[in-house]
Structure 1
Amino acid sequence: MAYSLANATTHPLQCPKHFILVHGACHGAWCWYKLKPLLESAGHKVTAIDMAASGIDERRIEEVLTFDDYNAPLINFMKSIPTGQKVVLVGHSLGGLNIAFAADQFPEKIFTIVFLTALMPDFRHKPTYVLEKFFERTPADALLDTKFEPYGPPNKNLNSIVFGPNILAKKLYHLCLPEDLALASLMVRPCPQFTGELADGSNYLSKEGYGNVPRVYILCKEDKVIPIDFQYWMIENVGGVKEVRMMDGMDHMIMIFGPRDLSLHLLDIAAEYD
């Protein structure tokens, strides 16, 4: 079932939830700065996490040689959550892969995982299958001045991605305020791709872990990075998504362009999954 903002209801705060917010490629915890106080003002706890070598994390990308290295801040945080406590995991864009792996390892600690216009892997294919399909459907010139560059030891065959000023302005932040684009231009950092490493069959996600956690997908209709038709394809590909919520008139950086509307959806979702 698809939801619009009109479907969102106002729930009285019965039990405060803990939201874990996971950013996408080249970004950091800073990108949640408008959403975080809105959720907190509603009585919830919010933790925004920097992945390794992202945001203000002090590691350099040369120190991040595996996906496990990159995802370690999230996994270590999940380990620190006491037994019997649960969180709501929200992943944006590439962060969908991060939350899927966290859910696979800690299904008992999660109320639900929310894919916010995010990559959503399945169980039948390697985790990067959706990323590979995305690049297959995306012409190279559509990526504008995005840079793909090798890094790390030559024998590792590692590559990074970083967004240039044109793609930031025209496809990620095209509806956002100029000052938000300026902030992003100062803060984005190269992000590892890991397509080769995650092609290993040993990294497949499981139905017993990831598959046992309720999944919700939030579509952003004006997204120029992950087009709406590809978002729908991922939902159909994985199957078993509990809810699909549509946000009209929202671009890829929904947490910056439409934080109040997004907060209403997240509060609604948090109230539904106990």
Structure 2
Amino acid sequence: MGNAFACMPRKEQRAAAAVSRSKRMGSARSARGGPKLTPAEEELLHRQALAMAIHQHLDAGGSMSRRIDAGASLSRRMAPGSTSSRRRGDLPDSVTNAKAAQIVLENLETKKIVLVHGEGFGAWCWYKTISHLEEAGLEPVALDLTGSGIDHTDTNSIATLADYSKPLIDYLDKLPEDEKVILVGHSCGGASVSYALEHCPKNISKAVFLTATMVKDGQRPFDVFSEELRSADVFLQESQFLVYGNGKDKPPTGLMFDKQQIKGLYFNQTPSKDMALAAVSMRPIPLAPIMEKLSLTPENYGTVRRYFIQTLDDHMLSPDAQEKLVRENPPDGIFKIKGGDHCPFFSKPQSLNKILLEIAQIQAPAALLPGKASSAQEAAVEKS
């Protein structure tokens, strides 16, 4: 239920979701690791994705028609010279976005990449990324979290991060014991990835946080955005973006920005056709999961390698906020996308693809490989 793409037969995936064009492109394109599409191919791919999204939207009962009065202005954040609106081309790149080398599939720890969408999105948002990764010979899987995409769960009924992340945990639990995947989480999907690292670390080879909520132990996903949206207490009291699905006399259950604010926050560099796709596909954001504090331990969460991808023209999670995240919870590697907004799978799909291919090729340290032990572990065994 939670998988918008994997739940369909392979042939139908390619036709309806436009996630594979190997029959049209030929094997030569796959060998080159995903070359740039022609305008005609890009247009066809987008039309197929848009058609599927509209169909899913109608099946879900037109969830995007639910709007709230969002009169509060975000002009403070969008004003020229503000922290969130500044271009950050002056930031040093820990890892450059140079052209990726040809990928050698035999050298990969795993070819399976699980894509976890952010708040309000669904598996549909990864349609370009899925196409590029498949052309490179990898096996991407995009999931719908609870109440997202074509999962018809009422977002107002989602009470915990565990509820919200259940499709991801169920997927990982069903993997063969010796199979691992790479998780990629976007925005608040980073909280679901962190939750999975704590509960299913043995199934995860690497975790990639794409301008995402890479929280620390005891931190809430919302805290990552507190500088942008004010403190949680003030936000819950004053925000006009809140959805009261159980009545005004009950605590808020969701969050939804209006169309213009979504455009300014998420899509400031995104092509208009992808904004049209989002307009018929995005759903209200369940509030409880992003207000929940995570419990993360070194024994579980701390055993998986983490990588963070920064986007340098991001209005939703500013470059300064992203820098703070990686400074306070250092990952194993940092990558940066210049000119990318909060949704680089739309605005910079080629750059994102190159980085994901590069991360996929990073080998585990010898101490983490099966049958290997670190010198400290070996010493401990000898002493025992």
TM-score by length of 1: 0.89
Equivalent positions of 1:52-63 (< 5 A) are: 52-63=146-157
Distance 2:191 2:154 in 1: 21
Match of 1:5 in 2: 97
Please state how far the C-alpha of 1:127 moved relative to its aligned partner: 3.2
Query: Residue type of the partner of 2:169?
Result: I
Please state how far the C-alpha of 1:175 moved relative to its aligned partner: 1.3
Match of 1:204 in 2: 295
For residues 31-85 of structure 1, give each alpha carbon's deviation from its aligned partner in whole angstroms, at most 9, with x where no partner exists: 0011101101111111100011111112111332222111111111111111010
Paired residue for 1:99, among 193, 201, 204?
193
Is 1:177 aligned to residue 177 of structure 2?
no
Query: Residue type of the partner of 2:260?
Result: N
List runs of 5+ in structure 1 lacking aligned partners.
none
Counterpart contact for 1:26–1:163, Cα < 8 Å: no
Query: Residue type of the partner of 1:118?
Result: A
Please state how far the C-alpha of 1:152 moved relative to its aligned partner: 3.9
RMSD (Å) for aligned C-alpha atoms:
2.3
Is 1:89 aligned to residue 183 of structure 2?
yes
Please state how far the C-alpha of 1:196 moved relative to its aligned partner: 8.2
Segments ≥4 residues shifted beyond 6 Å: 153-156
For residues 196-225 of structure 1, give each alpha carbon's deviation from its aligned partner in whole angstroms, at most 9, with x where no partner exists: 8624xxx41111111111010000000111
Is 1:246 aligned to residue 340 of structure 2?
no
- For the residue of structure 2 that corresponds to 1:244, the secondary structure is strand
Match of 1:257 in 2: 347
Task: Percent identity, please.
Answer: 30
TM-score by length of 2: 0.64
Distance 1:65 1:153 in 2: 16
* Cα separation, partners in 2 of 1:54 and 1:84, compared to 1, 3 Å: same
Equivalent positions of 1:111-260 (< 5 A) are: 111-123=205-217, 126-128=218-220, 131-138=222-229, 147-152=241-246, 157-194=251-288, 198-199=292-293, 203-239=294-330, 241-260=331-350
Work out the number of aligned pairs and report it.
Answer: 263
Distance 1:254 1:91 in 2: 12
More strand by share: 1
Distance 2:271 2:188 in 1: 23
Counterpart contact for 2:312–2:319, Cα < 8 Å: yes
Query: Residue type of the partner of 1:219?
Result: Q
List runs of 5+ in structure 2 lacking aligned partners.
1-92, 232-238, 365-384
Distance 2:289 2:150 in 1: 24
Query: Residue type of the partner of 2:303?
Result: N
Counterpart contact for 1:168–1:185, Cα < 8 Å: no
Counterpart contact for 2:305–2:332, Cα < 8 Å: yes
Query: Residue type of the partner of 1:147?
Result: F
Query: Residue type of the partner of 1:6?
Result: A
Q: Which has the larger radius of gyration?
A: 2
Match of 1:266 in 2: 356
Distance 1:256 1:28 in 2: 13
* Cα separation, partners in 2 of 1:193 and 1:63, compared to 1, 3 Å: closer
